[in-house]
Amino acid sequence: MLRIGIRHPLDTLNPVLAQQQVDIEVSAFWAGYLFALDDRNNLVPDLATVVPTVANGGISHDGKTITYHLRRGVSWHDGAPVTADDVLFTFRAVMNPNNLVPSRVGYELIDSIRKSDDHTVVVRLRRSYSPFVATFLATAAAYPYCVLPHHIFRDSTDINHVAFNTMPVGTGPFRVARYEPGSSIDLVANDRYWRGRPKLKAVKISIIPNDNTLLTLVRTHEIDLYYRSPHVFAHELAGVPGVRIVTTPFTRFDDIGFNTTSAIVSDVRVRQALAYATDKHAIIEKATQGADILADTDQPPYLWAYNVNVPKYAYDPERAAMLLDAAGWRPGPGGIRQKDGAPLRLGLAGIAGDAVSTTIRELIQAQWQLVGVDAEIKSYPSDILYGSFGDGGVEQTGHFDAVLEGFANGLDPDDSVLFECRWRPPAGQNTYRLCDPSLDAAEEAALSTNDQAVRKIAYARVQNILAVQLPVIVVFFERYDFAVNSDLRGLRPAHVNIALWNPWEWEIR
């Protein structure tokens, strides 16, 4: 049995409702997707047999018709066959406005969807949409949507509060045998798995919301894989017999997100001042041991959409002070600025029990205090911080001023779900409540063509607008560290989408 330790409690076991990266990682063990993304950024067919392209006839020349061929002979964990009806049902569930899915980006462009036979699905778009092949039930925004079993839900597309969300039926290499929310997940090998029985007989995932406890369990060999261990632990585990560190860059950025409707940070001058007051270099050196990658935009500097000329905010406390002065926040008693007798005090939210998040927020708090800003650190369990609108999630309901958070993008640079007007909660993930028509126009221009050169120009505009409006201060792109048992074989983390994408290949000796 492989024993895995994770820090964050899960929102749900249903990836179609998931708000967190860790929810999706866990689904890789039991769920089935049309495609996976491997450790070389390639789309790998899973429930589909081939990635549609113009060359193989899967995409029409006008880019509006896409055909997906499903793998024959695949069974759900309960033995029912996988068919095109499952794909059609999943689409209907995603589009049901009552379901609290994190994103419908791209789905609203579907003019029609039909099956031509039990293993072929044909999608017709209203217009060409460049990320669609990798978006449709594969990498919707940042989070994948697995295929759901039609026969389990029958005629209902309500997926918010159903038994499936805690005891799912999938097609993956393992099936969920037991789930104790907030505690553990037990998985056993799926004898019906289409690739053949996985090499591991069982997997136990323990939810332990404290990094130091997880570190101890790695040292004592009570867990075999510590998912996303803090970089500082790499030094502490060096030389521990039977333990090694596996590292991969990931298209996930850490940022300081602002609620642009909050009384204090609704003023863009205040947001810009806080950007100048944030020493990113010091944060990376002190909190991540220099391992993560300095960032100025929502696009990683190592991928094609990055705008090298985007406006940047070098650490400059004097300029920060000038902007705060201009915004009417003047120095007050105890060094804290005031305006109309009220102190410049704001909440800085983040995940409870996350050592790196805590360290970063403490650094930010000290940096902002130097320019007269009193940041109050507030900590929440991840399922409460990132919870859905219906469940009262802190970000979704707007009960924050600023938040230290992360966002994992997919293979395509599109992350319009974070910033377009139409995706403000409860419709989507624009928890910053930003609405800028020029930004929306640039995002849509990037999504309406397959010409990468044209898209690069559009994404340069997006990044320039974001740099001025500053709904987020992007601090760095992450490198993921996994502390693992040296006897574990087959772990090849991807740096897009789902890091733990290939558990059927894993074995432990």
Per-residue pLDDT of the chain (509 residues; tens, 9 = 90+): 999 999 989 989 999 998 888 999 999 999 999 998 899 878 899 999 999 988 899 999 888 999 999 999 999 999 999 999 999 999 999 999 999 888 887 788 899 999 999 999 999 999 887 777 766 665 444 467 899 999 999 889 999 999 999 999 999 999 999 999 999 999 999 999 999 999 999 999 999 999 999 999 999 999 999 999 988 898 889 889 999 999 988 888 999 999 999 999 999 999 999 999 999 999 999 998 898 999 999 998 888 899 999 999 999 999 999 999 999 999 998 999 999 999 999 999 999 988 889 999 999 999 999 999 999 999 999 989 999 899 999 999 999 999 999 987 777 888 888 999 999 999 889 999 999 999 999 999 998 887 889 999 999 999 999 999 999 999 999 999 999 999 999 999 998 888 999 999 999 98
Q: How many residues does the chain have?
A: 509
- Amino acid in the structure at residue 401: D
Q: Report the CATH architecture of 251-479.
A: Roll (3.10)
pLDDT at 137: 64
pLDDT at 140: 40
Proportion of the chain in helix, strand, coil states, percent, rounded to 5:
30, 25, 50
- Amino acid in the structure at residue 502: N
Pick the CATH number of 2-169 from 3.90.76.10, 2.40.50.140, 1.10.3710.10, 3.40.50.300: 3.90.76.10
pLDDT at 134: 61
For 334, the token pair is 């105890």
Q: Report d(CA 91, CA 142) in Å as an integer.
A: 17
Q: What is the DSSP letter of 251?
A: E
pLDDT at 338: 97
Q: Report d(CA 213, CA 278) in Å as an integer.
A: 30
For 363, the token pair is 């650094």
CB atoms within 10 A of CB 465: 21
Query: Which segments of 220-306 does DSSP mark as H helices, in order?
Result: 232-237, 268-276, 280-287
CB atoms within 10 A of CB 281: 12
- Residue 106's Cβ-count burial label (10 Å; 0-12, 13-18, 19+) is buried
Q: Report d(CA 448, CA 411) in Å as an integer.
A: 17
Positive/negative CA dihedral, 101, 102, 108, 110: negative
Domain ranges (residues) in the chain: 2-169, 251-479
- Beta strand pairing call for 472-485 and 243-258: antiparallel
- Beta strand pairing call for 43-45 and 35-37: antiparallel
Give CA 129 to chain center in angstroms.
Answer: 21
Q: Report d(CA 205, CA 186) in Å as an integer.
A: 6
For 223, the token pair is 């867990």
DSSP, residue by residue, 395-453 = HHHT--SEEEEEEE--SSS--GGGTSGGG-TTSSS-TT----HHHHHHHHHHHS---HH
The pTM of the full predicted model, rounded to 2 decimals, is: 0.76
Q: What is the DSSP letter of 454?
A: H
Task: Give the 3-state secondary structure of residue 28.
Answer: helix
For 87, the token pair is 């794909």
pLDDT at 141: 46
For 291, the token pair is 């391992």
